[in-house]
Structure 1
């Protein structure tokens, strides 16, 4: 993919966003700051151990920053079923809206659920709130 032209300020903000969340960043057309962070699961799908990034990655982004520095901020992670309510509560306590709770796979063990969330916020504030919300996941 060709390099996306963005301001040095956006680049710094994206690097800081990724650093807080502990992931790798890239800047997509838009511009969109996209951060991925691996998470280790001890799980199987169809009886086979999985290390697939389709299962193991946490994903975060921000885009559409307005003049006051607030952006559309999004997040997604996989959790074990018994962790879902705690994560949703953690997000809600910090003013972040959980928008989806669903599965991606069948016959996984233990049960893996995916949670998506969104907020219009300062990206750095969102990253900190998200980090606090997911800290218990390890």
Structure 2
């Protein structure tokens, strides 16, 4: 497997680039005669089109294509829209409390790894939920396997025991990636995968009111009412188009607390101009800001993720979340 190259220009290189840029600007000024009408704009457009043409789209696959990965990992996943093989890693073994609430795994303890195949290599991305004691061992195992850690942070303001979330990223042969990841998972007490329940537990919330307030329909999953919302724009790492199922979505989760009350947790995915608008909208609605950070090292456009927390009436919380959603460029409902 091969981590992405992130070579920084030296001072000499930077100077040379500056000289080239200056020369190019000078060539387009003064009395220079363009040989083609609109030549300057046309060149820029052609360069942009060329870059777009060189972006690799994820390859369509089948469940059978991912069986070697499942066998190497010792866990099975779900193929999403034919491109992303996503393996859930929820921390059902932990009892985590925050501000008097016992957090269900589906609210904020749902780690995962996801694989996407491209023409030449397979991409691995994920978010591992680990205890503070597990973190050093997990870090060492990931680094030994050549799997990059691209973020390390918390999703909850106050928690017991202390839990960390670490994002991972690598490119290479899919089975090699899975084999490299397995020792890191073995350094945790993440339980073996279990089949989903035959029926979903009831959601003690006004889900119709929440849907109306957010302008979208949620999904019941293990007693949690969830929303996963993709961005409207294409996200890349500069070379590959990144499907939303790799983890590039706004996630909003409602955990019922009884009497139509809920705890909400999740994160907004934003570009830089959207960040302050989202923070202001959440605070106006009385929703706490937990973390603001990046999940990746090379995403384009540069994305920021803002985690939040609040408890209260479910519909009231949904109404408070709506202006923050509207402040971001999300895909249509």
Q: CA deviation at 1:124?
A: 0.6
Partner residue, 1:32: 224
- Deviation (angstroms), 1:5: 3.2
CA distance in 2, matches of 1:124, 1:75: 16
> Aligned partners of 1:38, 1:19: CA distance in 2, in Å?
18
Q: Which runs of 5+ in 1 are unaligned?
A: none
SS at match of 1:137: coil
> Which runs of 5 or more residues in structure 2 are unaligned?
1-195
Aligned partners of 2:277 and 2:327 also within 8 Å: no
1:73 paired to 2:269? no
Task: Please tell me whether the aligned partners of residues 274 and 327 of structure 2 are also in contact (alpha carbons under 8 angstroms).
Answer: no
Aligned residues: 133
TM-score under structure 1 normalisation? 0.81
2: CA distance between counterparts of 1:53 and 1:22? Answer: 21
Distance 1:45 1:54, change over 3 A: same
Secondary structure at 2:310's aligned position in 1?
strand
Confirm or deny: 8 A CA contact 1:23 1:37 kept in the other structure: no
Q: Is the 8 A contact 1:23 1:36 kept in 2?
A: no
In the alignment, the residues of structure 2 paired with residue 123 and residue 80 of structure 1 have an alpha-carbon distance, to the nearest angstrom, of: 27
Written as runs of structure 1 = structure 2, the 5 A alignment for 1:1-138 is 1=196, 2-6=198-202, 10=204, 13-29=206-222, 31-67=223-259, 69-138=260-329
- Whole-Å separation in 1 of the counterparts to 2:235 and 2:278: 19
Is the Cα–Cα contact under 8 Å of residues 41 and 51 in structure 1 kept in the other structure?
Answer: no
Q: Secondary structure at the match of 1:84?
A: helix
Change (3 A) 1:62 1:5: same
TM-superposed deviation, 1:44: 1.8
Distance 1:81 1:55 in 2: 18
> After TM superposition, where is structure 1 displaced by more than 4 Å over at least 4 residues in a row?
none
| Larger Rg belongs to | 2
Task: Give the deviation of 1:55 after TM superposition.
Answer: 4.6
Contact 2:220 2:226 in 1 (8 A): yes
Deviation string, structure 1 residues 84-128 (Cα, Å, up to 9, x no partner): 122112111211111111111111122101111111111111111
